[in-house]
Structure 1
Amino acid sequence: MSSKQKDHYWLKSGIINVLQNFSGVFFGFAGFYILVRVLSKQDFGVWTLFMSVTTIMEAIRSGLIQNALVKYLSAADKSEHTAIISASTAISGMVTAFCVGLIFVFAPYLSHIWDSPQLVGIMYIYILVFISTGFLTQFNAVEQANLRFNGIFINNFIRQSSFFGFVLVCYLLDFQVKLLYLVWVQLGSVMISTLVAFSYVRHNFTFNFAIDRSWLGKLFGYGKYSFGTSVSSLLSGTVDQMMLGALLSPAASGAFNIAVRITNLIDIPGNAIAVVVFPQSSRRMEEEGKGAIKYLYEKSVGTTLALVFPGVLFLYLFSDYVIHFIAGEKYADSIPLLQVTLLYCLLIPYGRQFGTILDSIGKTRVTFLVVVGTTVANLALNYLLIVKYGVMGAAYATLISNILGFAVAQIILKKEVDVSLGNTIVYMFRFYPEFFEKYILPVWKKKTGQVDHTPKQ
């Protein structure tokens, strides 16, 4: 791949994934904003519990399958693709069947302990959604492994915007929304998205019913740690809010959630770059070795920090105005929470790319152990600090656990691929002039009629 092609790949893929992550956060936030107005408190509570359960189930399957499929498919010879996809699809089918069984068994139980009779019905309808998202996840992983992201962006946009559109129309027309309607809309949007995703990968998605057991073992062996990492990360991101609700009150959890939702906006570039880096790092590890991985880590973290830092600075300086604008004056207690959570936003790029790089070089077990360790530390610190400092204790606990995770990750990366923390800062400051020279200056010269006489390399 030439230097020009590499620049084009990073720019195009990065923009697509930033747009995808931004649209996800936007539709998620906007949908939340409307749902709390069109649903009763009881129905919104049931919907929140339903989404918590389904998010964990999706994370179980995605964590076990997606990264393993992307890693091996992006690095393997074309002749192996059918065997890899077939083995991955077989694992996906088995996990889906297992989770469907869990729904049938535990839906009545959850409905009973949460005193939510309608939860049983919506969970049973969700089985159809879950089966459809299994195919959608496979198609998106195959496209990502082939270093293409257009289809992923389009099908995700369709899925998110159609659900949001239904909620918005109900709100504008003052139409009574029932939870069953929301799940049926989920199903319709997922089915359309799945068809769109297939249209983008139909030439690359080759399947054979003769499953290769060796690939079955490789994919499952890799995926089991990635699965543990995904679930642990999910718990790590929600344990503070759950413990606030248990130890203090739902109101305290809500105040903290406001700060988390705002900082999620800052995390968009990190999510996007991680998606772009993972297949590249898997491929370059096979072709160029650990030297290329070291550069990818330092460059991707530096680029992410360059994109994140201005947003963190702005939100920190104007946190009171931001909170009042988004949530209103009654959530003034979220202002100091936001200021603390913004601090660990600067550490997230290091942790996210640590997982991406370690997974791409086959060290999923190490990633798993670090994430589990950070989650356990976060759990213990939350309990101790919430009891002592109240709602601010949750913010302090998450900050401290992120610092501990950052330190451990840097020690491991130094040993494995000899990364330099200083280089990430250098790449961060280099990003601004490089971006200006490559993408802003040529456009400005073209518009003003200036000719670039710089000799081509």
Structure 2
Amino acid sequence: MLSTLLQKFRGGNSHALFGQVAFMAANLLVFILLLKRLPQEQVGVWGIFMTLMAIVDGIRQGLLQSGLTRQIILSPEREKSLVGTALLIHFAIIVLASLGFYLSSDFLATFWKMPELATLLRQSWKALLTLGTLQGLAALAFAKGQSKNYLIQNLVYFVLLILALGFGISFWVIDLEFLLNIQLLALVPVVIWVIGWGRISVSKPNLKDARELLDYGKFIAGTNLFSLLFQKADLLMIGYFLDPVAVGLFHFATRLLQYIELPLTALGQSIYPKITASYRSGMLTQLKSEYSRSVQLLFALIIPGLLLMLIMHRPLILVMSTEEFLKSVPVLFILAIGTLAKPLGRVSGMTLDAIGHPKVNFLLLLMSVVVNVVFNFILIQKIGLMGAALATSISVILTVIIGQWKVSKYLQFKPFAVVWADLKTNLKLV
């Protein structure tokens, strides 16, 4: 079993994982600075702000990245036109979203009872440009089979962010605006490196390409939107029903788990093209094998992190933050239950997209969002933060179960049974 997983991990998967490690490590530095130097209330404000940024970027990713990857794989000769068109759509989304946040900043700050949120929202273009550009360059690298470039660009961003933070801490006041500026500053050399070394080639945007990208991406964008709402509904509703301190505690717990779930995000970028290629081969056996190996690999990479977190949670929290955040431990443990089911859910969702059923994935997540919001609405008001964690974990598990059934309906095999059978075979070989 170990040799099989290591073989699966080599090459593009290792580049994807370590590239994501570099990206998440950069974000972790910013997050630790936030936890150590700013009050809990501001951690809550940052949590709501970054949640809104993640939702917009999730829509942008859905509209562009899967479709761009698919079209470049199918028609590599059209790469320049496709990239040029995708860049135009990319910047259009950032401009429109930034304008929307600027105009609604006071309303949203009032809604969540966070006056400082308005200041951040008026500068949302900085966060959207940083996050969107890094994710867009990552998608392009994987579409072209250049996972090593993804690793390099994230390492460059990580090193530059360390330098920028070291310089900035010495000369500027540490506040939420500083965190935005420092991330944007670290992005600039990455873009210069990508352009200067010819890692990206573009030509004039094409209307036909735009239609293809948007037509394919519309349901994936919807899926991403509802997936993020599914993940973030708890935080947004805590902000409305409770207070910024509660948001800060919950945001800390979810961010800690996000680092443990890193393989789900990192390897998803390399798993999706492989599942797509397996499906296009027309061989069901190959698709089943790719599906099973992907799920097993994700489980093998997140379970050690979860165990470490459960055993070492107190020193881990104190290293990252302060004693005030130890109050998040019960929430962390309940959310960890839902995390255990996520490898199955992530691969099922990518499979539905890859086999040409993004609408099914979209409708599945729409239903899940409704369930999650209802559970959160009831349980947050009854038992506070614990209710939000419980609602989220229950919703994740229900979604995964239904997702398995949907995959079996379209591909004539039972995903969990295939994974379990392969796992037993691998265990016998150990």
Shorter-chain TM-score tier: 0.7 to 0.9
Deviates more, 1:110-119 or 1:364-373: 110-119
**What is the alpha-carbon distance in structure 2 between the residues aligned to residue 233 and residue 50 of structure 1?**
18
Q: Against the structure 1 CA distance between its residues 339 and 426, is the aligned structure 2 distance closer, same or farther, given a 3 Å change threshold? A: farther
Q: Against the structure 1 CA distance between its residues 321 and 245, is the aligned structure 2 distance closer, same or farther, given a 3 Å change threshold? A: same
Q: Against the structure 1 CA distance between its residues 427 and 322, is the aligned structure 2 distance closer, same or farther, given a 3 Å change threshold? A: farther
* Larger Rg computed on CA atoms: 1
The aligned residue for residue 78 of structure 1 is 76
Q: Against the structure 1 CA distance between its residues 428 and 272, is the aligned structure 2 distance closer, same or farther, given a 3 Å change threshold? A: farther
Please report how far the alpha carbon of residue 384 of structure 1 lies from its aligned counterpart in structure 2 after TM superposition. Answer: 1.4
CA contact (8 A) 1:143 1:200 kept: no
Please report how far the alpha carbon of residue 380 of structure 1 lies from its aligned counterpart in structure 2 after TM superposition. Answer: 0.7
Aligned 1:59-78 pairs, distance under 5 A: 59-74=58-73, 76-78=74-76
**What is the alpha-carbon distance in structure 2 between the residues aligned to residue 393 and residue 324 of structure 1?**
25
The aligned residue for residue 190 of structure 1 is 187
Aligned 1:335-374 pairs, distance under 5 A: 335-374=329-368
Please report how far the alpha carbon of residue 104 of structure 1 lies from its aligned counterpart in structure 2 after TM superposition. Answer: 5.0
Select which of 397, 407, 412 maps to 1:403: 397
Amino acid at match of 1:207: S
**What is the alpha-carbon distance in structure 2 between the residues aligned to residue 179 and residue 322 of structure 1?**
24
Select which of 386, 390, 407 maps to 1:413: 407
CA contact (8 A) 2:254 2:332 kept: yes
**What is the alpha-carbon distance in structure 1 between the residues aligned to residue 410 and residue 50 of structure 2?**
38
The aligned residue for residue 144 of structure 2 is 146
The answer to whether structure 1 residue 176 and structure 2 residue 170 are counterparts is: no
CA contact (8 A) 2:68 2:82 kept: yes
Q: Against the structure 1 CA distance between its residues 26 and 362, is the aligned structure 2 distance closer, same or farther, given a 3 Å change threshold? A: same
Please report how far the alpha carbon of residue 401 of structure 1 lies from its aligned counterpart in structure 2 after TM superposition. Answer: 0.5
Please report how far the alpha carbon of residue 393 of structure 1 lies from its aligned counterpart in structure 2 after TM superposition. Answer: 1.4
Please report how far the alpha carbon of residue 158 of structure 1 lies from its aligned counterpart in structure 2 after TM superposition. Answer: 2.9
**What is the alpha-carbon distance in structure 1 between the residues aligned to residue 197 and residue 177 of structure 2?**
31
Q: Against the structure 1 CA distance between its residues 427 and 250, is the aligned structure 2 distance closer, same or farther, given a 3 Å change threshold? A: farther
The aligned residue for residue 271 of structure 1 is 265
**What is the alpha-carbon distance in structure 2 between the residues aligned to residue 205 and residue 308 of structure 1?**
36
**What is the alpha-carbon distance in structure 1 between the residues aligned to residue 343 and residue 198 of structure 2?**
30
The aligned residue for residue 29 of structure 2 is 30
The aligned residue for residue 446 of structure 1 is none
Amino acid at match of 1:285: Y
Please report how far the alpha carbon of residue 83 of structure 1 lies from its aligned counterpart in structure 2 after TM superposition. Answer: 4.2
**What is the alpha-carbon distance in structure 1 between the residues aligned to residue 363 and residue 130 of structure 2?**
31
Aligned 1:325-344 pairs, distance under 5 A: 326-327=320-321, 329-344=323-338
**What is the alpha-carbon distance in structure 2 between the residues aligned to residue 323 and residue 430 of structure 1?**
38
Secondary structure at the counterpart of residue 375 of structure 2: helix
The answer to whether structure 1 residue 58 and structure 2 residue 57 are counterparts is: yes
Secondary structure at the counterpart of residue 399 of structure 2: helix
TM value normalised by structure 2: 0.84
**What is the alpha-carbon distance in structure 2 between the residues aligned to residue 231 and residue 192 of structure 1?**
30
CA contact (8 A) 1:10 1:276 kept: no
Q: Against the structure 1 CA distance between its residues 390 and 72, is the aligned structure 2 distance closer, same or farther, given a 3 Å change threshold? A: same
Q: Indicate the percent of aligned positions where both proteins have the same amino acid.
A: 23
Deviates more, 1:335-344 or 1:108-117: 108-117
Unaligned runs of 5+ in 1: 437-457
The aligned residue for residue 244 of structure 1 is 238
Amino acid at match of 1:387: Q
Please report how far the alpha carbon of residue 220 of structure 1 lies from its aligned counterpart in structure 2 after TM superposition. Answer: 0.8
Deviates more, 1:97-106 or 1:357-366: 97-106
Aligned 1:8-19 pairs, distance under 5 A: 10-19=9-18
Q: Which has the higher contact order (CA 8 A, sep 6+)?
A: 2
Amino acid at match of 1:140: A
Select which of 422, 425, 429 maps to 2:420: 425
The aligned residue for residue 203 of structure 2 is 207
**What is the alpha-carbon distance in structure 2 between the residues aligned to residue 421 and residue 160 of structure 1?**
38
CA contact (8 A) 1:36 1:44 kept: yes
